[in-house]
Structure 1
Amino acid sequence: MFNPDLKKMLNNVNSRYSLVVGTAKRAREIRDEAIENNAILDEKTVSTAIEEIWDGKYVIEEPDSIKSK
């Protein structure tokens, strides 16, 4: 199981909440893409989303009103 360093993942987001919401959003996108393509996933979508965020393939964007100063 992939267990990334939470501090590194939080470098580019304002809060843990933003990280969780962004991860869930990406996981749903991965699931929807798999359904459209009739693909069978070998890994859980949340795990795939976390790996993409960790690798920098997916960036969580926050509204300007909640970004860190």
Structure 2
Amino acid sequence: MLEPSVDDLQTKISSKYTLATIAAKRAREIQETDRVLVDHPKSNKYVGQALEEVMAEKVFVKEDSK
């Protein structure tokens, strides 16, 4: 997968571990529902589509308020 690049994705979510976890969870949701939050995704694969959603800021990490 070339797009979006990991460097670009880390501007949205700084932790690679968190990014991988969110992408995997969202990819399962896309597979089950067939609903993608971005218009005309470039990727045909669920993980790629999930990462495109992260890049488009449709999927993000909710920070804990302490």
- Give the TM-score of the pair, scaled to structure 1: 0.63
Q: Point out which structure has higher relative CO (alpha carbons under 8 A, 6+ apart).
A: 1
- Give the aligned CA root-mean-square deviation in angstroms: 2.4
Given that residues 9 and 54 in structure 1 are in contact (C-alpha distance below 8 angstroms), is that contact kept between their aligned partners in structure 2? yes
The percent of aligned pairs where both chains have the same amino acid is 33
Note the residue ranges of structure 1 that are not aligned, 5 or more in a row: 35-41
Q: Which has the larger radius of gyration?
A: 1
Note the residue ranges of structure 2 that are not aligned, 5 or more in a row: 35-42
Counterpart check, 1:54 vs 2:47: no
Structure (1 or 2) with the greater helix fraction: 1
Deviation per residue, 1:8-61 (Å, 9 max, x gap)? 322343411000000001000101102xxxxxxx81111110100001111133
